[in-house]
Structure 1
């Protein structure tokens, strides 16, 4: 029985409170010190994908969106497969992250590689080409707050377990021609690890994109050419972003050729 089916009765029960901070204790999967991992329905794998976007882990808002969409689907009589797909597609990179992500993908030319007008279409008319996932499939919280990559994703047993048993398995199930976009340096380290294990080929991985979080606003603005180098704060490394942008743009051009 899948994890979705294990928790299906709770998600389908309108009397069960899906809200909480971080989430209801009945959805708890594991604890490791101050790290807690909860279940939320991010299980669906898109076997038709051409591009895979990988974040760190679903945050509380994404988890709530997924749980509520799964509930809506189950109550209206959807199958398990339909509910899983709808929950994943509705919640993945929802909120303010989505326009930042779309803008950066378009900026490096991914829409041209895919033959679409904009990567915004990966969330609507061409969603069947995209697989959205996280290095840690199920939402992780540190001291009750969204986990943001510290301690490192490979540094704790409960975190490594998700990478070894969920992310690695997803990669094995996805088409061999998929292109992967890790979001931010923390996820980039995970993909370096997976490359070292031979699960992926270097040309498949577009590493170096800033994380689309609103907390990264200045880096994103500079990456997109919306902010001048002279106006940057000392916290933003312009040279690093310049190099990443150039390397990613070149790699996408190579994919197109």
Structure 2
């Protein structure tokens, strides 16, 4: 699927995408799972780092569709419309600020030689590729999909992983680094790593998912909430171990960069 196939429909549409996605954009149904098209096709082939979420939610999908519709109506090329849509919508909202704070906290900005990972969303977008394990938005019984059922356990979801995400990894090449957001996305990358699509040293895993619903884990990861005040829903041992592994891997990379 691509914007080419939906451009005429999108240009003519007066649909309010923020409320729900129209049935004309439905790509597949599997039980309570529905996958819709939204313009997240653009791949920044020159990226040095990839930020990978689970799947675009309704907020991100509606922003991407609105931007693509606006670009197409202004006469933009399909490629420009795809790029603008993706850059406008990727990790939009509170998720973006949480992500920037966590990336800066572990020092990814120093690895990329930029002042802050906020620049990955404005002046230094050429360094980053934004994507999701599931390229196109998925809903479970009408609600945003958040990783359950597991992505590799359902044919329609596994197809997205092994077709779209695998294709992006091949395009981006062996020097690119990947930041999977949360353990569910890490599982997907470990599956693709086992298939030989990328190496362990390309994975910068360990960040909690940046969703606003994950506020306590994020606060603890950033050092903002003390261990003794955590609820039973947050396991500090797991977070501490993941963070230590990530910091060690980043320290090794910075050392290797200085030796190059």
Once the two structures are TM-superposed, the CA of residue 176 in structure 1 deviates from its matched residue by 2.1
- Runs (4 or more) in structure 1 with deviation over 6 Å come to none
Partner of 2:242 in structure 1? 244
Does the alignment pair 1:6 with 2:5? Answer: yes
Displacement of 1:175 in angstroms is: 3.2
SS at structure 1 position matched to 2:93: coil
Question: How far apart, CA to CA, are the structure 2 residues paired with 1:102 and 1:114?
Answer: 13
Alignment of 1:187-202 (within 5 A): 187-202=185-200
> How many angstroms apart in 2 are the aligned matches of 1:198 and 1:255?
21
**Which structure shows the higher helix fraction?**
2
TM-score normalized by structure 2? 0.96
Name the TM-score, length of structure 1 as normaliser.
Answer: 0.97
1:185-239, Cα deviation, whole Å (9 max, x unpaired) = 1101101101111100000001121000011000000000011111111111111
RMSD between aligned residues? 1.0
Contact 2:52 2:132 in 1 (8 A): yes
CA distance in 1, matches of 2:206, 2:191: 15
Cross-structure match for 1:23 = 21
C-alpha distance in 2 between matches for 1:236 and 1:134:
24
SS in 1 for 2:151: coil
- Kept in 2, the 8 Å contact 1:53–1:131? The answer is yes
What are the Cα deviations for residues 2-45 of structure 1, in whole angstroms up to 9, with x where unaligned? 521110012211x4314265410000000001000000000000
Secondary structure at the residue paired with 2:28?
Answer: strand
Which residues in structure 2 correspond to 1:31-70 (within 5 Å)? 31-70=29-68
Match of 1:153 in 2: 151
Of residues 35-44 and 16-25 in structure 1, the stretch that sits farther from structure 2 once superposed is 16-25
Counterpart selection for 2:201 from 194, 200, 203:
203
Aligned to 2:258: none
Q: Please, which moves more after superposition, 18-27 or 103-112?
A: 18-27
- Unaligned runs of 5+ residues in structure 2 are 256-260
Residue of structure 2 aligned with 1:140, choices 138, 152, 158:
138
Residues 34-113 of structure 1 mapped to structure 2, 5 A cutoff: 34-113=32-111
Give structure 1 stretches of 5+ with no counterpart. Answer: none
C-alpha distance after superposition, 1:40-64 (max 9, x if no partner):
0000000110000000000000000
